[in-house]
Amino acid sequence: MSLRTWRRIAWAYHLIFAVAVIWPVQTLVNRPDPFVLGLPRQMAWATAWVLGSLVVLWRLDLARARAMRAAPPEGDG
């Protein structure tokens, strides 16, 4: 995918992330039991979004690096 596409994906993901970790959406996962990998469900929810953000930003960086390699070098003055 192109750099532009990955930028749009990153923006969309982080907007959804912001909505998913604040009230009232956060209250949908606010259950004391059962634990997910030893974490309360609400903390596991937020952790999953943060880890997803890591993946999205990593892919965006790869796309940016690929675009920089493919760009023609600028001429000297």
In this structure, is residue 19 part of a structural domain? yes
In this structure, is residue 9 part of a structural domain? yes
2-6, 17-21, 67-71, 73-77: least confident range = 73-77
In this structure, is residue 77 part of a structural domain? no
Domain count, the chain: 1
Q: What is the pLDDT of residue 76?
A: 55
Q: Residue 41 sits in which domain range?
A: 3-70
Q: Give the pLDDT confidence of 7-61 residue by residue, as tens digits.
A: 999 999 999 999 988 888 888 888 777 788 888 888 888 999 999 999 999 999 9
DSSP state letter for 36? B
In this structure, is residue 22 part of a structural domain? yes
> Sign of the CA dihedral 62, 67, 73, 77?
negative
Q: What is the pLDDT of residue 72?
A: 73
In this structure, is residue 17 part of a structural domain? yes
In this structure, is residue 76 part of a structural domain? no
pLDDT band at 75 (very low <50, low <70, confident <90, very high): low
52 within 8 A of 17, measured Cβ to Cβ: yes
Q: What is the pLDDT of residue 16?
A: 93
In this structure, is residue 75 part of a structural domain? no
